Every structure is written in structure tokens, then in C-alpha cells.
Chains A and B, each alone.
Chain A
Amino acid sequence: MEATHVHGAGHAHGDDHSHHPKGIMRWITTTNHKDIGTMYLWFSFAMFMVGGAMALIIRAELFQPGLQYVEPEFFNQMITLHGLIMVFGAIMPAFVGFANWMIPMMIGAPDMAFARMNNWSFWLLPPAGILLTASMFVPGGAAGTGWTLYPPLSIQMGIGMDMAIFAVHILGMSSIMGSINIVTTILNLRAPGMTLMRMPMFCWTWLITGYLLIAVMPVLAGAVTMILTDRHFGTSFFSAAGGGDPVLFQHIFWFFGHPEVYIIALPAFGVVSHVIPAFARKPLFGYTSMVYAIASIALISFIVWAHHMYVVGMPVAGQLYFMYATILIAVPTGVKVFNWVATMWRGSMTFETPMLFALGFLFLFTIGGFTGLVLSNTAVDVQLQDTYYVVAHFHYVMVAGALFSAFAAVYYWLPKWTGHMYDETLGKWHFWLSLISFNIAFFPQHFLGLAGMPRRIPDYALQFTDFNQVSTFGAFGFGLSQLLFLYVVLKTIRGGEKAAAKPWEGATGLEWTLPSPAPYHTFEEPPVLSEAKGHA
């Protein structure tokens, strides 16, 4: 979306790097953090559409009891690919895209620390996306195991499973390289005078997320490699017949999987910590406690993994430990929510689209957090594990949490990226349609779970019909609302009211000292930080 602004303002030095390739080669060979950020964001949106279409196939089949549109095998493939594509293809690349675009501008750096590796981190993604989607078309179809890939079921699958494993390997490499890059950039390329505790909150969340990624992605790669060798090379890591244990996989997977939740959530917290102060025209409340809260959430996230496995039959002492540790996460999470509310308190608020999405995030993410607290209670979880209650819970966290925050980020930074203001009326329509249809889609799923509907089934008993129908209506509404988002973004790229360098009255930070659109190269010389230009 930056193509037309390559030679934009801000190139007074005569050194305008105009010899870079044009057309498609520009994008393939680029080492520019803004180009790469843009590609991450478009890739993420494309995957979001693919994963969303799969979600609608799932919801269409669940509109009524009985099998109508798809066979159970295909249904299982849809839930697997929907999960993998949304987590690894849509949400994670979106936040890496924001990091690429914004972190160098926020800390006054000319680019990312490893510019060539940055290119490679992005270009690993399309092959992985293709492997995942193409696995639907091979004999036996895609993996039908759910995104958790539990053996021995994953041992039974066809070649689609191997493709998913390779896709996970590639995505993992991309994430590790991306996060090494982000961590190095933040630690080494900050403008003089920007101490860690003066850094914008988005950088803090990404610094910690980067470490989480580096710690857990190799663990996931190890787990899926063990499945691969069990499948093809005669090992028995997960087969009792050969001395292994299927539950071992679950421990390894969730040792990755739980920090993964925070890998997605922390950058979302970072975005919200910029948007709320900007539109409340008031500094973020409790910056220091926010940093400590993020760090403690990240640390605790490593020691709670088995709360995903309360019914595998672990010792009761294990269940008690994981319950207590999980309950503990509510404390720093609560601190964050209280800080955001206190930031709004006695502010001077306006409600442009980014603020609306941030408030939507706050409200719905808190619901997701509370249902998480319900699920942390082992005795209650025994009734709710693997039901639609869990599906509702993590969609409140992932969609109303991470995705709404990503929408807030796009609307907030779109003027900086494109040089144009987006259409505020359409943005607000997008927000309200998304908010209402999301709740119609997912709130009833709490009831379905409580009443006893298992997840991952293509057909259900008759007493679950009504709420499933409501949910399907909401899901289609939510899916269609996202086409409006695409339209708003395209419209903004093509034109619209010229954006000022700082289009938001209350925004703070170095990125707003740059012209809009941001020139191709920024901060080739580090900015001088005044006392006032501290953290966001």
C-alpha cells in the first residue's frame, strides 16, 4: 500500500536510494521494514479471509442437526485448518506486521536490525500458507485432528498431516527469525536517551513476546517432528505399544500452546495501551506496573500449561498446582484492565474507530478472561473441557481480544501508513457490525457448552439446535462485516482527506513526529529526545 509514496516527503538529503528494483522485484527483494510490514499485513488479511471462509463452512454445517453440506472427515479438516491458519497465518503475522512498521519509527531507528533476515522471515510465510491450504487437495485431505494435532489420531492421517507439520516448521522458523530481529532492534537501535523504561508500551509488549516466541517455537517444532518420526521412521514417542506415551505430546504441545496465547495477547495489550491514552488525551496510567504485569504474565504463562489437560488423568497434586498457578494469572491481567480504566478516568475522551475497537477489546477481552477463570477451576472444568464453552472462551480472547486490537491498530496507524484519513463513518459501521455480530456468534456458545455440547462435532443432539442457529447467523454477519473493513482500507489507500503528521490530538511518540505518509526511509539520523517525548 506504500507503492506510490516511495519518493515522498522527507528526502531532503539528496540520497534517496532510488536504485531499488521496481514492480514485483521490489517486494521480493525489499529489506525495508515498511515494505515488509505491509506484506505481513496483506498476507495476514489474505489468510484471515481463507480461515474465515473455513469458519463459515463450519458454521453452515452446524446451522441444523444432521449432516447437510460436508462429510465429517472434511469438517474435521476445516476445524484443523481454521485453527492453524487463524493462529499462525492471520493473527501472528498481523502483529509482526505492526511491529515491523511501527517499532523502528517508535524508537527512532532507521530500520530493523537484520534487514535481510527480515525479508526472509516474511517470504517463508507464503510457502507455509500454501502448504496448509493445499493440503486439502491431496489424497486423504488435510489433517483432521484439530489444530492441537494430538497423536495417535495424527499418526493415522495421510500426507496432509506431513504438509501441516512442514508448514508448522516453516512458520516456526519465520517466527523465530522475526522475533530475534525485533528483540535485537529494540535492545540495540533505540534513539539515544530512550531508556527501556521510557520506551513505548507496544515495544515493551513485543520485547517480551519476542522472548516468548524464541523460547517456545522450537518446542513446538520438536513436538511435531516427533510426530513425523513416529509416522515415518518407526519411533514410538507417543505410542504406548512402543513404550511411549500419547499424553507426552500434550505436555510438550501445551508448553508451547499456553505461552502462544500470550504471544498473541501481549502485542494486543500493547496496541490498546497506545490507543486508550491517545483518545483519552491522558498519559497511560501505571506505566511501570503495566511493564511488571506484562513480564509476570509472560513468566506465569510457562508454568500453567497443563490446565488444558485437566481430564487426561494427571495426579491430583498436579491438578491442584496447575489450578493455583492458573488462577494467579488473573492478578496481573486484572492490573492491566484496571490501569486502562484508570487511564480513561477523568480524561477527555473522543470515540473514533480505533478507540471504539479498543473499548470493545477491553469489554470483551474481560469476559474472555473471566470465563478463563471459570475454566481454571478444575472441578468445573471437568464439565466444560472440550465443550463449546471453551470455544466461546478462546474466541472472546482471540477475536474480541487480539483481532479487535489489530483493527484498532490498523485504524490508528492507517493515516501514518497511507497519508490519508480513513472514512470515519464506515469505520464506525465496521466496529458496530463486528461487535454485535461477534456477540451473536459467540455468546450463545457459552450456553451450548454449559448444556453439554462437545466441540469439534459436525452434528449434534436436538436440544442444541436453537443456540447453534443463532450462532451461525452471527458468524455470517461477522464474516461479511470484514468485507467492509477491506473496502475501508482500500478506499483509504486510494485517497481521502490528507492526514496530518499527528492526526490524533492526544497521540504521543516519535512516530507522530514524522510526516504522513511516513517516508520510505525514516530516522536515518537518530532523533533527539526531549524530556517531553518520553514513553507513550
Chain B
Amino acid sequence: MGINKKTQSCLAGIALMVWSRMALAAWEFNFQSPATKAAQTVIDLHNLMMIIIVVIFIGVFAVMFYSVFKHRKSRGHQAAQFHDNTMVEIAWTVVPLLILVAMAWPATKALLNMRDTSQADITIKATGYQWKWGYDYLKGEGEGIKFMSLTTTPADQIRGTAAKGGNYLLEVDRHVVVPVGKKIRMLTTATDVIHSWWVPALAVKQDAIPGYVRDTWFKAEKEGIFRGQCAELCGKDHAFMPIVVEVVSAEKYSQWVGEQKKQMAAAADEGGKTYSLNELMSRGEKVYAANCVACHQANGKGLPPAFPALDGSKLAKGPKKDHIAIVLNGKPNTAMAAYGGQLGDGDIAAVVTYERNAWGNKTGDMVQPADIQAARK
């Protein structure tokens, strides 16, 4: 053959690259490894259906392909002229019906179990915001704990200017911590648009609907970190609001609850404090980066017309009162959420101060936690 050495080694190189890539690659083709009995049930149900489906499929298309190969004109096959057979037609209506009824039985059992949210040990409310999740521990051990959970995947990884980390797009600053072996009831709701709270390994997915509360539950059988994503298109950063559930032992959970309570007590004690402009600005920049940057952008120019600019805006340079009100209460029918329930007085004071002094908005204004406390009344 006319293939020279160079071409040969080149082809070998490509083959090696393809092979090593395939060997390294994930090629995940089935459900994630289950962490709850419900997730295992889904896998079993799916396997059962796949077996039935594949058997029927092979049966039907074996007949078709037999016909395609044997009953062709090129083999001299003469066409029969039959076009009805009542017995056969009744059979292939009734038999599938019976198979389907048999399949519906385990499906019903699994569903009834999935929907039984009674007698939960801990109740947690997940609130969907554009584009992050907030959690309130409402009942059981840890009652009163409350936090926002934001994606931590850096923008330069998304934009391709930095190497992507192992949990790319599936990492958050604060995990939803729950104890192993306890029934956790999840309430879901949202403030702006419909989101959906989904963790595949736990087999829970429940839409979070603004103005309504829905529920679902899970009981993790093993400790570990389980990652999921919002599953309902909720706007621009739908792909960037992950969910991370961390299942820990009962002791570790109690310890975590203790730490959270201490931090919350410290944060609640802010009303009387006053800060310098520098303190407010550096804290405000962090709050802005975590909560505001997705829409209003790091340079404050926004993405008009959907997401207005703050740099040079009437709001950020006008009266403080209006500015505070919109951050606290949001703006109806837009993506601007009410942050009054999400952030403490200190954070809101800092971010308003930041917005009024950053970029070209050199107003020199300062907003203190006490101002926010007053505005809430």
C-alpha cells in the first residue's frame, strides 16, 4: 500500500488520542448511583420496563425484518392479498392491554410511596430565586436555620479562561446539610418564576412555584454529597443555580446545627452597629458579587432593557429611601427580587452603599444597618 511511515505514525497518534480520550471519558449512560430507596425503586422500575420494551421491540421488528428480507420482489415473492384477520387484531389489542395493566401495578405502588410526605423528621423549605436557592429549616432539629446557597463556579471557568474544576457548575457556597436515615420533607416555593428542585441521586424533583407551596420527601440511606440542578427553565442563568445536599451522621448534623445557630445570633446583632464607608464598600462589593452581578453586571452597566444599568442610574443617584425600598421589596413583574427576606440589614446597607458609590456614582452617601431596620417598618 502507498501509506508512508509518516502517515502511519500520524494515524497511530490519532488512534491513540481517540482511545485514551474514550478511556478517560465518563460516558455516563444510566441513572446516578441511588442514595435513597425511592431512587432504587425508580431504577428497578425503569429496568423492568426496558426489559419488556426491548423484548416487544425485538419481536415486532424481527417479524418486520424477516418480511423485509424474505418477502421482497427481487426474490420473486408474490404478494398475498389478505387485508383483515379479526382474531389476530383482537389479540394484538388485548395482549398489550394486559401487559400495560401489569406494568401499571408496580408503577402505582412506587408513586404512592413517593408522594407520602407524612411523619417527617425534619422539614426544610427550598425557595427558588432567579438564580439561586434559599433554605429555611422549618421543623425538627435545626429549626430556624436559614441561608442562601449560591453557585461558586467562577465566571472565568465558565468563559473558558480558567481550567474547569471537578464539580464544575455543581458547587455552591453552602450545602443543604441533613442527617442520614431521617425522613426529610422538602417544601418548595419560589419568589419570581417557576424553578424545580432536583437531586437525581435522591430521586426528588418538585417544581417551585411562586405563591404556592408544594412538597416532596427523601430519606438518604448513605452519607455523602449529592448534586443536582434547577430543572425548570427560569431565565438567563437557569444553568447556574445548582443544588448540593450533604448527608452526614446524626452527631455531625447536631454539631453543624450548633455552629449555624451561633453564626445567626452574631448576624442578628447588627442593628445598632455603624460602619465606616470603607467597611461598607468592601462588604457591599462582596454582597453585590454574590447577588446582583448576574443581572446588573460587574461594571454596573446591566443588560438593558431587561436588566437596567445602575451606573449613573436615577435610582442609585436619587433619594436613598427609594433605593433602599426597591432592594428590600423588589419590582413586580421584573426579575428584580425582594431582598428583604434574603439578606440581613448589614448586607443590604452595605450593598446599597456600594451601589451608590461604585463606578461613576460617587454620591458619597452611606447607609447604615439602622436605616434598613427603619425602612423595614
On A, residues with C-beta under 8 Å from B are 65-68, 72-73, 76, 139-140, 144-146, 150-153, 155-158, 231, 239-241, 245-247, 280-289, 311-313, 316, 319-320, 323-324, 327-328, 330-331, 334-335, 337-338, 341-351, 359, 362-363, 366-367, 370, 373-374, 377-380, 382-383, 385-387, 447, 450-452, 454, 456-467, 506
Are B74's CB and A457's CB within 8 A? no
CA distance in complex: A342, B53 (Å): 20
CA distance in complex: A466, B26 (Å): 7
CA distance in complex: A374, B57 (Å): 14
Are A156's CB and B89's CB within 8 A? no
Are B114's CB and A152's CB within 8 A? no
- Tell me whether A349 and B78 are in contact in the complex, defined as CB-CB below 8 angstroms, given that A283-B83, A316-B112 are known contacts: no
CA distance in complex: A392, B110 (Å): 25
B contact face: mostly helix, strand, loop, or mixed: mixed
- Tell me whether A382 and B203 are in contact in the complex, defined as CB-CB below 8 angstroms, given that A66-B158, A462-B166, A465-B26 are known contacts: yes
Partner of B67, one of A327, A347, A387, A450: A347
Are B231's CB and A461's CB within 8 A? no
Partner of B233, one of A76, A246, A382, A464: A76
Q: List 23 A-B contacts (CB under 8 A).
A: A66-B157, A67-B158, A152-B210, A245-B211, A246-B210, A281-B73, A284-B83, A313-B209, A316-B115, A328-B100, A334-B92, A334-B96, A345-B63, A347-B77, A347-B80, A349-B68, A349-B73, A363-B64, A373-B53, A374-B50, A380-B45, A386-B231, A447-B30
| Additional A-B contacts beyond A155-B333, A346-B80 (11; CB < 8 A) | A67-B158, A67-B159, A156-B333, A241-B332, A246-B210, A311-B205, A359-B64, A377-B49, A386-B231, A457-B238, A466-B22
User: Does residue B149 face the partner (Cβ distance < 8 Å to A)?
Assistant: no
Give chain B's interface residue range (CB within 8 Å of chain A): 35 or more
Stretch at the interface among B189-197, B319-327, B358-366: B189-197
Residues of A within 8 A of B207 (CB): 311-313
A233 CB to closest chain B CB (Å) equals 12
By Cβ-Cβ distance, the 7 closest A-B pairs, closest first, are A240-B211, A313-B214, A457-B239, A447-B29, A451-B28, A379-B110, A348-B79
Partner of B73, one of A313, A320, A343, A348: A348
CA distance in complex: A247, B28 (Å): 33
CA distance in complex: A145, B194 (Å): 11
On B, residues with C-beta under 8 Å from A are 22, 25-32, 38-39, 41-42, 45-46, 49-50, 53, 56-57, 60-61, 63-64, 67-68, 71-74, 77-85, 88-89, 92-93, 96-97, 100, 103-104, 107-108, 110-112, 114-115, 157-160, 164, 166-170, 188, 192-194, 196, 198, 200, 203-207, 209-212, 214-215, 227-240, 303-306, 332-335
Partner of B93, one of A335, A386, A452: A335
Residues of B within 8 A of A158 (CB): 305-306
Residues of A within 8 A of B60 (CB): 337-338, 341, 366
CA distance in complex: A285, B106 (Å): 35
Are A345's CB and B31's CB within 8 A? no
Residues of A within 8 A of B334 (CB): 156
Residues of A within 8 A of B103 (CB): 327, 377
A contact face: mostly helix, strand, loop, or mixed: helix
Are B206's CB and A285's CB within 8 A? no
Residues of B within 8 A of A335 (CB): 89, 92-93
Are B170's CB and A461's CB within 8 A? yes
- Tell me whether A450 and B206 are in contact in the complex, defined as CB-CB below 8 angstroms, given that A380-B49, A462-B168 are known contacts: no
Residues of A within 8 A of B332 (CB): 241
Closest B residue to A239 by CB, please name it.
Answer: B211
Are A373's CB and B49's CB within 8 A? yes
Partner of A344, one of B46, B64, B97: B64
Are A462's CB and B79's CB within 8 A? no
CA distance in complex: A496, B167 (Å): 59
Are B236's CB and A72's CB within 8 A? yes
Are B169's CB and A461's CB within 8 A? yes
Residues of B within 8 A of A337 (CB): 60
Residues of A within 8 A of B77 (CB): 346-349
Are B238's CB and A456's CB within 8 A? yes
Partner of B212, one of A240, A319, A338: A240
Are A246's CB and B194's CB within 8 A? yes
Are B97's CB and A331's CB within 8 A? yes
Most chain A CB within a 10 A radius of its CB, from B92, B192, B233: B233
CA distance in complex: A344, B68 (Å): 8
- Tell me whether A451 and B209 are in contact in the complex, defined as CB-CB below 8 angstroms, given that A323-B104, A379-B107 are known contacts: no
Residues of A within 8 A of B236 (CB): 72-73, 76, 144
Residues of B within 8 A of A367 (CB): 57
Closest A residue to B91 by CB, please name it.
Answer: A338
